[in-house]
Amino acid sequence: MASELKKYTTFQVGGEARSLHFPMSKAELVLLLETLENPLVLGAASNVLISSSGVDEDVVITTKVNGFQLKKLGIRNEELGIKNNSSFLIPNYSLLEAECGAKGQLLARETQKAGLSGFEFLIGFPGTVGGMVYMNAGAHGQNVADTFLECEVFDLKTKKTLTLTKEDMKFAYRKSILSEKDYVLLSAKFALERCEQEKIDDILKRNIEFRKQHQPPLSLPNAGSVFKNPEGDSAGRLLDLAGAKTLTIGGAKVYDKHANFIVNFNNATSLDISQLMLNMYNMVREKYSICLVPEIKFVGKKTKEEQKIWEELLNS
Residues catalogued as catalytic? 174, 225, 295
Q: Compute CA 212 distance to the chain's CA centroid, rounded to the nearest angstrom.
A: 20
Residues in the chain: 316
Find residue 39's DSSP bridge partners. none
Task: Outline where DSSP puts E strands in the chain.
Answer: 3-4, 16-17, 19-21, 40-42, 48-50, 58-61, 68-76, 87-99, 116-117, 138-139, 142-143, 148-155, 160-165, 183-194, 248-249, 252-254, 262-264, 297-299
Helices (H) and strands (E) in the chain, counts: 9, 18
Q: Are 47 and 87 in contact (CB under 8 A)?
A: no
| Cα–Cα distance, 304 to 198 (Å, whole number) | 54
Hey, CA dihedral for 63, 67, 69, 75, is it positive or negative?
negative
